[in-house]
Amino acid sequence: MSSLIALSFSGGKDSCLALYELQQQGWEIGCLFTTVWKENGKTIAHEDSLEALKEQAERLRLPIHFIYTSMEEYETDFIRTLSGLKDMYDLRAVAFGDWYLKGHIMWGVEQAEKVGLDALYPLHAPQSEMLEQLRRFVRLGFVAKVIKIDDNKLPADWVGRIIDEQFVADIQAYDVCPMGENGEYHTRVLDGPIFHK
């Protein structure tokens, strides 16, 4: 049986940390894939540029595929593309970078089952561990920049901040998930142990 997997990849800290964990566990990554809004060509949730993700994928030495979709067609487009990737790469599983939100995790499991794949959640951990996970992300040598903020929850001028020890200290003053699991903030990873120079 194939051991190749596809990873849902936003270019942010969670998906990059998920890739790191999968590699540490000995999984072979067949490809990355990212969902993109048809109407503006930006990645879903992060609203990042495709050029940024292409550059990351090149430095990861992994192929990346884009799922162009809309709110109405999201699940249909997701399933169709994932099914195609399964055949293209002879995939065994699909991995996601979710931490603890049960609704997100169950959705991924259900979509994977529809195309005959296992769903992997290498970051799965309780909410109580999120501050320590953010510290670990920094200590592993990842460098990430905040590219989007929910300004109802965090200061708008945090856009552009680097995720470092000072960020870890500052975020504790707010009633948010330190890892931003509820969309409090989104990042783009600039460097780290998964990247080739």
Per-residue pLDDT of the chain (197 residues; tens, 9 = 90+): 457 999 999 999 999 999 999 999 999 999 999 999 888 877 777 777 889 999 999 999 999 999 999 889 999 999 999 999 999 999 999 999 988 878 888 999 999 999 999 999 999 999 999 999 999 999 999 999 999 999 999 999 999 999 999 999 999 999 999 999 889 999 999 999 999 97
Predicted local confidence at residue 109, as pLDDT: 92
Distance CA 147, CA 56 (A): 15
- Assigned superfamily of 4-120: HUPs (3.40.50.620)
For the chain, which residues make up each domain, given as ranges? 4-120, 127-191
Residue partners of 43: CB distance under 8 A and separation at least 6: 10, 11, 34, 35, 36, 37, 49, 50, 53
Distance CA 184, CA 182 (A): 6
Q: Taking each helix axis from N to C terminus, what angle separates 74-89 and 102-114, rounded to the nearest 10 degrees?
A: 60
